[in-house]
Chains A and B, each alone.
Chain A
Amino acid sequence: TQLLEQSPQFLSIQEGENLTVYCNSSSVFSSLQWYRQEPGEGPVLLVTVVTGGEVKKLKRLTFQFGDARKDSSLHITAAQPGDTGLYLCAGARAGGTSYGKLTFGQGTILTVHP
Chain B
Amino acid sequence: DAGVIQSPRHEVTEMGQEVTLRCKPISGHDYLFWYRQTMMRGLELLIYFNNNVPIDDSGMPEDRFSAKMPNASFSTLKIQPSEPRDSAVYFCATSPRTEIYGYTFGSGTRLTVV
List the interface of chain A (C-beta within 8 A of B): 30-31, 33, 35, 40-45, 48, 50, 88, 90, 92, 97-107
Residues of B contacting A48 with CB < 8 Å? 100-102
Q: Measured between alpha carbons, how far is A1 from B93 in the docked complex, in Å?
A: 24
Are B33's CB and A42's CB within 8 A? no
Given known A-B contacts A45-B102, A50-B100, A97 and B45 have beta carbons under 8 A apart: no
Q: Measured between alpha carbons, how far is A100 from B96 in the docked complex, in Å?
A: 10
CB distance from A93 to the nearest CB of B (A): 9
Contacting residue for A43 out of B31, B95, B99, B105, CB 8 A: B105
CB distance from A51 to the nearest CB of B (A): 11
Are B108's CB and A97's CB within 8 A? no
Residues of A contacting B104 with CB < 8 Å? 45
Given known A-B contacts A97-B56, A100-B50, A100-B55, A31 and B99 have beta carbons under 8 A apart: yes
Q: Measured between alpha carbons, how far is A35 from B45 in the docked complex, in Å?
A: 16
List the interface of chain B (C-beta within 8 A of A): 4, 31, 33, 35, 42-43, 45, 48, 50, 55-56, 91, 93, 95, 98-108
Are B107's CB and A88's CB within 8 A? no
7 A-B pairs closest in CB distance: A42-B105, A45-B102, A92-B99, A104-B43, A106-B42, A31-B100, A102-B99
Q: Measured between alpha carbons, how far is A44 from B106 in the docked complex, in Å?
A: 10
Residues of B contacting A31 with CB < 8 Å? 99-100
Q: Measured between alpha carbons, how far is A88 from B93 in the docked complex, in Å?
A: 15
CB distance from A94 to the nearest CB of B (A): 11
Contacts A/B (CB < 8 Å), 12 sampled: A31-B100, A42-B91, A45-B102, A45-B104, A48-B100, A48-B101, A92-B100, A100-B55, A100-B99, A101-B33, A101-B56, A105-B42
Given known A-B contacts A48-B100, A50-B100, A100-B99, A42 and B42 have beta carbons under 8 A apart: no
> Which chain A residue shows the least CB distance to B106?
A42
Are B99's CB and A45's CB within 8 A? no
CB distance from A49 to the nearest CB of B (A): 10
Among B43, B45, B93, B95, chain A packs the most CB atoms within 10 A around the CB of B43
Residues of A contacting B108 with CB < 8 Å? 40-42
Residues of B contacting A97 with CB < 8 Å? 56
